[in-house]
Amino acid sequence: MTHHTTSPRFKDNTKAALVDPELQKALHFVETNFPQRRRNVADMLPEFDALRDSARDIKNHTLSFLDLYLETFEARAMARGSKVHFAVTADEANRIVTDICREHGAEVITKGKSMVGEETGLNAFLEANGFAPVETDLGEYIIQIRHELPSHIIMPAVHLRKAQIEADFRRVHKDLPKDRNLDEPAALLAEARATLRAKFLAADVGITGANFLVAETGSAVIVTNEGNGDLTATLPKVHIVLASIEKLVPTLDDMAQLMRVLARSATGQEMSVYTTVMTGPRRPDDPDGPLEHHIVIVDNGRTAMLAGKFRDMLRCIRCGACLNHCPVYHAIGGHAYGWVYPGPMGAVLTPSLIGIDKAGHLPNASSFCGRCEEVCPVRIPLPRLMRFWREREFERRLSPTVQRTGMKLWAFFAKRPRLYRLATWPAMQVLAWFGRKQGRFRSLPFATGWTKHRDLPAPQGKTFQEQWRERSRS
Amino acid sequence: MSSRDLVFASIRRALGVTGAEEPRRKAVADRLRDHPRGVIPKRGQLGAEERIALLLAKIEAVSGTTQRIASLDDLPAAVGDYLRAHNLPLALKRGADPVLAAAPWEREPALTVTIGATAGDDLVAISHADGAAAETGTLVLLSGPDNPTTLNFLPDNHIVVVAADTVQGDYESVLAALRDRFGPDGLPRAINLVTGPSRSADIEQTLILGAHGPRRLHVILVDRQASLNGV
């Protein structure tokens, strides 16, 4: 059971997003804050780019030996008392988690933020089976009470303004005084903290994701700023970790390399507040910690990516830097992408997971400015991977007929330079003559789709090829 | 075929391997045994005194507070002063940690110190960090009866004692110390790397301290190891 996707309606989604004034204000924060914050901490660490190379190499190495590291991880986690489960599909992952909750008669289930949990639609599945999981990351909690998908992979509620969150809190927290003051973000946080603290203390089962799985020690690692992940992992009798196969790293030293690029790329912090290496359940003399520790390892389409052109995408550590630096994301936000993963990483990952037939618009929503690749901590060539999807879409005849015919027509002329010049020269003369006063066209016949959002500059005289010939001669 | 076997079979098909290739198994075994270090920032490669200065500066930079005392003998007064300065009740929860146990708490007679994990009803907890990484002001706290994990997260105020000679320059040195002591098969249930007090910026990216964990983190660096080692 995965989330219903609106990716096929991407174009309608973007139109709505562009005229949503609250969303546009919220997105302005992302554009103005995060690139600068990342820049600041990157500049403070001279080794930052060398660390990105190191992070890339560690992930590549791990993926090349994934079967063996996974085997080692499984054996060592089990030796420390964790129960390790494997799920081929999203549905299977959901069933494994639900069965554990049922076995323990879980009345209260707390959840730390997990993107793979969003991907499998875990909350909806649990709810359909009579459970009521509570998200505990503040942003996730907000979107859960709004019944929304996250609009960003590390800041799920970044599309919202304070007043919208206040309205939601007043709607949901009915037992609190109506005249309470929620003007400040701190008051909203305090209310969420108090509400969720009760859930933490009552929880029977806690579910978190993992940022890393360490083969050397059989440990699962979570990184948070709020501390909600640790409360979710520590207080209930049962802790379930949901993690996809590409979260593996060989050793603790490899984890340290990745830690150095993760927070800097994500929030522009040098280090997130809490990084926790968790190995097995409570020990005989431990006064706290879960009595049972489960690790659910999810494939859900990743082994198919490992085989093909999209293996590079499996290096992704879900930092969100590509979203934070993307002009398309800045303009339309995360929900327009229509599924769990937005921005450039979503444009590559979503078609892999839900199909290019549903998500074909996503890899097309790029100006190929290349900022995503420039900032990626594991150097994923995101523009190139988006281009692979465009090619595949073309090969599978999924792109619109007009576009395909146009491309063919253009290719016909492009392969015949003489004919190309012959055909374009008069057209350029005509355009130049019509555009000589304004210097640009606000609209053109047969190209209104293009000129609706931008002006076409009028030709300024000689064509590029003419100028090229002239300059080569001299 | 079980799901486990299916996942392994898919991975091996994708990589074009059987899993039995000796050179591959050796490459993995070597890396796990040697755990090669990658790029280590120069910023932490300092003498002991500069390393401590860097640690304290980095903690302050992430909204923690710091204090330095000469020996464990000064700890009760430092804690008492901190609690009074923040109008907190003179009550404290700690684990069975021998270093914390060795502090002369009787010198602060008004202070009530109770021992154990917390169920969420303690305002202040004190822990003894196993070490620290100066490069980002990161404290290393280990689970167990000495320093229960719940003390790191549930109380509003967390006081952490760090011995000067356990301050390392970088994460790798911290991890190496843990590996030496526990072996790769013997890590404690939880290693908490803590960098500043809990925070959230999920509402309009306004940074607020005290999201779900402590609102305040106060680090007390203890200089003289003699009294710490004496226990």
pLDDT for the residue B231? 44
Predicted confidence band of residue B225 (pLDDT cuts 50, 70, 90): low
- When CB atoms are compared, the residue of A279, A288, A299 closest to B10 is A299
Interface of A with B in 240-279 (CB under 8 A): 245, 250-254, 256-257, 259-260, 267, 269-279
Predicted confidence band of residue B229 (pLDDT cuts 50, 70, 90): very low
Does domain B44-229 bear CATH number 3.40.50.10420?
Answer: yes
Q: Do A228 and B212 touch (CB under 8 A)?
A: yes
3-state secondary structure of A238: strand
Annotate A327-358 with DSSP letters as a single string.
HHHHHHTTGGG-SS--HHHHHHHHHHHH-HHH
Domain ranges for chain B: 1-36, 44-229
pLDDT for the residue A1? 40
**What ipTM describes this predicted complex?**
0.97
Q: Which chain A residues touch B154 with a CB distance below 8 Å?
A: 231
User: Are the C-beta atoms of residues A350 and A341 closer than 8 Å to each other?
Assistant: yes
Query: Which residue in B has a C-alpha nearest to residue A189's C-alpha?
Result: B211
* pLDDT tens-place string over residues B189-203: 999 999 999 999 889
- When CB atoms are compared, the residue of A87, A272, A288 closest to B117 is A288
Q: CA–CA separation, A399 vs A339, rounded Å?
A: 20
**A25 min Cα distance to partner chain B (Å):** 10
Q: CA–CA separation, A58 vs A50, rounded Å?
A: 12
Specify the CATH superfamily of domain A7-303. NagB/RpiA/CoA transferase-like (3.40.50.10420)
Q: CA–CA separation, B104 vs B113, rounded Å?
A: 11
User: Are the C-beta atoms of residues B209 and A294 closer than 8 Å to each other?
Assistant: no
Minimal CA–CA distance to A316: which of A380, A361, A383?
A380
Q: CA–CA separation, B222 vs B224, rounded Å?
A: 6
Q: Do B188 and A162 touch (CB under 8 A)?
A: no
pLDDT for the residue B195? 98
pLDDT for the residue A435? 81
User: Residue B123: what residue type?
Assistant: L
**A331 min Cα distance to partner chain B (Å):** 17
pLDDT for the residue B189? 98
pLDDT in tens, chain A (474 residues): 446 789 999 999 999 999 999 999 999 989 989 999 999 999 999 999 999 999 999 999 999 999 999 999 999 999 999 999 999 999 999 999 999 999 999 999 999 999 999 999 999 999 999 999 999 999 999 999 999 999 999 999 999 999 999 999 999 999 999 999 999 999 999 999 999 999 999 999 999 999 999 999 999 999 999 999 999 999 999 999 999 999 999 999 999 999 999 999 999 999 999 999 999 999 999 999 999 999 999 999 999 999 999 999 999 999 999 999 999 999 999 999 999 999 999 999 999 999 999 999 999 999 999 999 999 999 999 999 999 999 998 888 777 888 888 888 888 988 998 888 888 888 888 888 888 788 888 887 777 777 877 888 888 777 788 888 889 887
Query: Which residue in A has a C-alpha nearest to residue B27's C-alpha?
Result: A65
- Of A273-282, A460-469, B83-92, B155-164, least confident by mean pLDDT is A460-469
End-to-end CA distance of chain B: give it in Å, rounded. 56
Domain ranges for chain A: 7-303, 417-473
Q: Does A35 touch chain B (CB under 8 A)?
A: no
User: Are the C-beta atoms of residues A66 and A265 closer than 8 Å to each other?
Assistant: no
Interface of A with B in 418-447 (CB under 8 A): none
Query: Which residue in B has a C-alpha nearest to residue A215's C-alpha?
Result: B32
Minimal CA–CA distance to A347: which of A385, A396, A299, A306?
A385
Tokens of A448: 């209104």
* pLDDT tens-place string over residues B14-36: 999 999 999 999 999 999 999 99
Q: CA–CA separation, B189 vs B217, rounded Å?
A: 23
Rounded to 5, what percent of chain B is helix, strand, coil? 40, 20, 40
Phi and psi at B122, nearest 5°, equal -105, 135
* pLDDT tens-place string over residues B48-75: 999 999 999 999 999 999 999 999 999 9
Phi and psi at A253, nearest 5°, equal -65, -35
pLDDT for the residue A113? 94
3-state secondary structure of A456: strand
Block residue for tokens 């011995």: B163
pLDDT for the residue A85? 98
Distances (CA, A) of A120 to A4, A132, A343, A438, B62: 11, 16, 19, 54, 35
Specify the length of chain A in residues.
474
- When CB atoms are compared, the residue of B41, B117, B190 closest to A45 is B41
Q: Does A125 touch chain B (CB under 8 A)?
A: no
